[in-house]
Structure 1
Amino acid sequence: MKNHFFTTFMLVSASLLFLNACSKSDSSSGVNSRLSVYLTDAPAPYDAVYIDIKDIQVNASADDAVSTGWQSLPILRPGVYDLLKFRNGLDTLLASQEIPAGTISQIRLVLGANNSVVINGASYPLETPSAQQSGLKLNIHAKLVANIEYRLWLDFDANRSIVTTGSNKYILKPVIRTYTAATGGTIKGIALPLLHVKGVFAIQNTDTVAAAIPDALTGAYVIAGLNAGTYNVAFAGDGILKDTTVAAVAVKTGEVSNVGIITLK
């Protein structure tokens, strides 16, 4: 068993050290969630609908007048998106960011002015009211649990969002439905003694699914993004202390399974 742990550890240690350094202040403290925002669309009778997306912001305050409650999520690719590319279950990732766990009440979609619709091969500008460019607010009221990734979809109804006023003039009045889903579950705990536990591994059958390195100061570890199921959690010692395994740890989507304090001997 020891050889299995150390072989696996050698293969993943470099990447784990990097991830541990990057996320120690977030994941180990157990106070953050990851919010990923996706764009999808309902069918529409157009050749293309181009929307200029500049920013996405979330608000943890129930009062949208509180400006300090808004936090921007960095857009992976700011610019123009053709909504009709994301029909029939297709979507695209707009942003993914660690944010404090808790309740987010609203999301604000900030649009640019470069919006257009293509009808029968001809392109027409979509006039966008200034209020929508400054931020289209959508109520979501989602409760984010620490160490769980949540996916939020912006379901943009292109057909209902485009209003014609005649003379080939079109106005963009976005109609967007939002929905969220928790993805995967999490195993967390504390591994002691400090600096003697070289790796923690989530194992199904004989496959190491994911791993973590305990925090050097607290011994805390988090293994997130696990599919629902049962895992053996293996702790690799440093050669002085023996390996140990906690069997049959149940993982459920949207929940955190706390293994507690494990001390190697």
Structure 2
Amino acid sequence: MKKYLLILLTLSLVLLIGCDSNSENETETGQIIIRAFDAPFQGNVEHIFLNIVEVSVHKSVSETESDTLGEWIVLSDTDTTIDFLELVNGEMATLVQTDLEEGHYSQQRLLLGDSSTIVVDGNTYDLKVPSSSQSGVKCNLGFSISPDEIVEFYLDFDAERSIHQYANNDRYILQPTFRVFKSQLSGTIVGTVTDTSGTGIRNISVYAVAGDDSITTLTGESGEYMLILLAGTYDISARGYDLYADTTYQAVQLNAEEHLTDFDFIMK
């Protein structure tokens, strides 16, 4: 009997040690979310379909390490094609929403496939990615994530600066330009653009200018617009169709996670 008790006690200790060992090896995680939207493209471009094949982040050994250390962690390798011209006025596409091991990360990387296209006047053309961009578009925005923390990023695709057409040619080159920032550090400004009768006007450009930086959106079907901006001070203006706005809002202070409304324009 004593012999059996001794065996049971030994097995219990082994199981306890094993459980403790597994607990120590468990990796604690937070959650990362990456959502994308677009700054509009002026002119007769109808669609910009970007083919995204991988989203990854670079985990650092420490916050002061060089880029040669650490490792790339794939967050998503789902082959996805998104029409970025649809992602305006608050419309977003969720690229990633997944658990991520706690620690410090120095970069984000977006890898594009070879199926990106642009539609101009009803005609579809390939968007060629230069060899210099085929290793992926890297955004050097470092961040840390703690257990149970949710970190959300906005990825703003600048179509105007990203797409280039050869002169007198139907070839289009894609050199992707993105702004990446934490959603918690941003806010929104919304309003409507109408004519003197109060009817909303679509496709009017609304600008937010801070120093040398300019962010643009286009009004929707009813003249509505939304600007998603980093916290800061902006001048807000509108123009289009050879029309001029009745006002410019100067030195508008936008705080993080703030939603400002009624920044309306009447076009004359």
For this structure pair, what is the TM-score category when the shorter chain's length is used for normalisation?
0.5 to 0.7
TM-score (norm 2): 0.53
1:72-121 deviations in Å (ceiling 9; x for gaps): 0025x522111111112211111122112222110010110111111111
Q: Aligned-residue CA RMSD in angstroms?
A: 2.4
Alpha-carbon distance between aligned partners in 2 of 1:34 and 1:182, rounded to the nearest angstrom: 14
Alpha-carbon distance between aligned partners in 1 of 2:172 and 2:98, rounded to the nearest angstrom: 34
Closer/same/farther in 2, CA of residues 175 and 71 from structure 1, 3 Å limit: same
Letter in 2 for 1:141: G
2:41 matched to 1:39?
A: no
Shift, 1:30, TM fit: 8.0
Larger Cα Rg: Structure 1 or Structure 2?
Answer: 2
1:32-82 deviations in Å (ceiling 9; x for gaps): 11001111111112200011100001012253333x51100025x522111
**Secondary structure at the residue paired with 2:173?**
strand
Specify the alignment match of 1:169 in structure 2.
171
Q: Which structure 2 residue ranges, 5 or more long, are not aligned?
A: 1-21, 186-268
Alpha-carbon distance between aligned partners in 2 of 1:130 and 1:54, rounded to the nearest angstrom: 16
Specify the alignment match of 1:50 in structure 2.
49
Alpha-carbon distance between aligned partners in 1 of 2:48 and 2:156, rounded to the nearest angstrom: 14
Alpha-carbon distance between aligned partners in 2 of 1:25 and 1:152, rounded to the nearest angstrom: 31
TM-score (norm 1): 0.54
Shift, 1:182, TM fit: 5.3
Shift, 1:25, TM fit: 7.3
Closer/same/farther in 2, CA of residues 115 and 144 from structure 1, 3 Å limit: same
Alpha-carbon distance between aligned partners in 2 of 1:30 and 1:129, rounded to the nearest angstrom: 39
Alpha-carbon distance between aligned partners in 2 of 1:25 and 1:56, rounded to the nearest angstrom: 30
Alpha-carbon distance between aligned partners in 2 of 1:59 and 1:80, rounded to the nearest angstrom: 23
Closer/same/farther in 2, CA of residues 170 and 63 from structure 1, 3 Å limit: same
* 8 Å Cα contact 1:57/1:108 also seen in 2: yes
Closer/same/farther in 2, CA of residues 48 and 152 from structure 1, 3 Å limit: same
Alpha-carbon distance between aligned partners in 2 of 1:175 and 1:89, rounded to the nearest angstrom: 19
Specify the alignment match of 1:119 in structure 2.
120
Alpha-carbon distance between aligned partners in 1 of 2:99 and 2:23, rounded to the nearest angstrom: 11
2:77 matched to 1:108?
A: no
Shift, 1:126, TM fit: 0.9
Specify the alignment match of 1:154 in structure 2.
155
Equivalent positions of 1:3-14 (< 5 A) are: none
How much identity, in percent, do the aligned residues show?
29
* 8 Å Cα contact 2:27/2:101 also seen in 1: no
2:183 matched to 1:181?
A: yes
Specify the alignment match of 1:93 in structure 2.
94
Number of equivalent positions: 156
Specify the alignment match of 2:66 in structure 1.
63
Specify the alignment match of 2:8 in structure 1.
none
